[in-house]
């Protein structure tokens, strides 16, 4: 069996039943996860799916889309061990059979890749709530990972079966799970392909359980870790630099301060803030700490340190600017350089999944 369609459903209506019948008529296998829906209102829809011969797995209470996807992936791995791909689709009628076929074709053409069904319609055809959420996360995702994905929130994805063990380890019980899946691609070394699909928005997407502000914050939680860790380290570095330059150095050398005070303060602040930055990035952001990462970070730290000390000294000596201003001018480009190297080289995980 090549494909199993995975449908997480919470409080579905008759569109789920219609979608299931359409899949059955097309000869496709499917598994539905009832994510704690009201049995009085929705029981008949799940029963209709079971009458069609489809497996329905029930959560006793609502646990979120991410939890439903993990439950479904685990059930498919157990009940359909020979399947090659799992295609996730929403239960509200947004995804057409033609779109599923596009994703399936792309899976066959790219057997090791995650296939993403992207919504590329004109802005006017997309409800404001969906447009707001996707626009908000698209730019942040690009900033955090360096990857360009047009539709980061689509529920239509083709997942290679070999990657299911890793997919089950991803955190997030709600919409952030789907973002965490995309964030993990780079670390896994897993390719991705985005194909254009048609999406039908019914009643301006009123059936969606996505809340733009609340769920966008959940989706962006991992991305915000990148930014917050760097900001904390930057503030520690800057405050220590000011302390050394304007409090300790005058006690050592007196006034006026010699030119050596600027690189000396830079060095002392960088030593302490570098330790803070490494601990934050290795344990809380990239979650990849080892000898290789420590050595790589130390080398990067020395390079950044040398460039920073030299740059601060030259700007102070040539232009006569205040030390704080010199540090700011030097550290902003070095911050971007450091972030890129840490993301792309030092904390980049080796691929942990392999195709069958």
**Side-chain-side CA neighbours of residue 149 (13 Å):** 31
Q: What is the pLDDT of residues 227-254, one digit of tens each?
A: 787 788 888 888 888 888 787 767 666 6
Residue 201, pLDDT above cutoff 80: no
Q: How far is CA 293 from CA 107, 170, 304, in A?
A: 34, 22, 16
Q: How far is CA 130 from CA 93, 248, 321, in A?
A: 15, 54, 48
Residue 9, pLDDT above cutoff 80: yes
Residue 23, pLDDT above cutoff 90: yes
Q: What is the pLDDT of residues 286-303, one digit of tens each?
A: 665 567 777 888 898 889
The pTM of the full predicted model, rounded to 2 decimals, is: 0.70
Q: How far apart are CA 207 and CA 68, in angstroms?
A: 17
The helix (run of H) or strand (run of E) holding residue 272 is helix 261-280
Per-residue confidence band for 340, with pLDDT thresholds at 50, 70 and 90: confident
Assess contact for 312 and 330: CB atoms under 8 A.
yes
Q: Considering its fold, how many domains does the chain have in total?
A: 2
Assess contact for 194 and 152: CB atoms under 8 A.
no
CB atoms within 10 A of CB 235: 12
Tokens of 337: 């350089």
pLDDT for the residue 2: 94
Q: Are residues 212 and 228 in the same domain?
A: no
Q: Are residues 64 and 40 in the same domain?
A: yes
pLDDT for the residue 81: 96
pLDDT (mean) for 206-214: 52
Q: Are residues 136 and 172 in the same domain?
A: yes
Q: What is the pLDDT of residues 83-119, one digit of tens each?
A: 999 999 999 888 999 999 999 999 999 999 999 999 8
Total residues belonging to the chain: 356
Beta bridge partners of 5: 30, 87
Q: How far apart are CA 234 and CA 241, in angstroms?
A: 10
Beta bridge partners of 157: 88, 116
Q: Are residues 67 and 142 in the same domain?
A: yes
**Assigned domain for 356 exists:** no
Residue 118 sits in a domain whose CATH number is 3.90.550.10
Per the structure, the complete domain to which residue 97 belongs is given by 3-219
Q: Are residues 184 and 233 in the same domain?
A: no
Q: State what percent of residues in the chain have pLDDT above 90.
A: 40
Assess contact for 137 and 130: CB atoms under 8 A.
no
Q: Map tokens 């994905």 to a residue.
A: 149
Q: Map tokens 């990035």 to a residue.
A: 281
Tokens of 229: 């860790």
pLDDT (mean) for 71-93: 96
């Amino acid at each position: 069996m090549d494909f199993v369609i995975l449908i997480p459903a919470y409080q579905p209506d008759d569109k789920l039943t219609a979608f299931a019948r359409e899949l059955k008529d097309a000869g496709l296998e499917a598994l539905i996860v009832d994510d704690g829906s009201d049995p009085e209102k929705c029981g008949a829809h799940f029963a209709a799916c079971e009458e069609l011969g489809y497996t329905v797995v029930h959560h006793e209470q609502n646990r979120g889309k991410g939890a439903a996807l993990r439950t479904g992936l685990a059930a498919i791995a157990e009940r359909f061990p020979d399947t090659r791909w799992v295609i996730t689709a929403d239960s509200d009628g947004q995804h057409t059979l033609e779109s599923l076929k596009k994703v399936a074709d792309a899976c066959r053409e790219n057997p090791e890749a995650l296939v993403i069904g992207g919504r590329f319609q004109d802005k006017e055809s997309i409800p404001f709530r969906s447009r707001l959420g996707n626009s908000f996360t698209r730019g942040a995702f690009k900033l955090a990972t360096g990857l360009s994905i047009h539709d980061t929130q689509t529920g239509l994805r083709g997942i290679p079966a070999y990657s299911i063990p890793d997919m089950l380890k991803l955190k997030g019980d709600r919409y952030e799970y789907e973002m965490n899946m995309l964030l993990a691609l780079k670390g896994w070394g897993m390719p991705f392909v985005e194909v254009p699909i048609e999406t039908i928005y019914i009643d301006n997407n009123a059936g969606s359980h996505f809340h733009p502000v609340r769920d966008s914050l959940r989706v962006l939680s991992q991305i915000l870790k990148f930014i917050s860790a760097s900001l904390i380290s930057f503030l520690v570095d800057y405050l220590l630099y000011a302390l050394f330059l304007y409090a300790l150095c005058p006690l050592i050398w007196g006034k006026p301060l010699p030119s050596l005070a600027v690189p000396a303060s830079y060095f002392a602040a960088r030593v302490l803030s570098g330790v803070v930055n490494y601990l934050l990035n290795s344990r809380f952001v990239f979650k990849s700490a080892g000898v290789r990462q420590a050595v790589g970070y130390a080398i990067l730290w020395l390079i950044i340190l040398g460039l920073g000390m030299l740059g601060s000294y030259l700007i102070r000596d040539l232009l006569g600017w205040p030390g704080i201003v010199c540090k700011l001018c030097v550290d902003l480009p070095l911050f971007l350089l450091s972030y890129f190297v840490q993301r792309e080289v030092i904390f980049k995980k080796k691929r942990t999944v392999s195709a069958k």
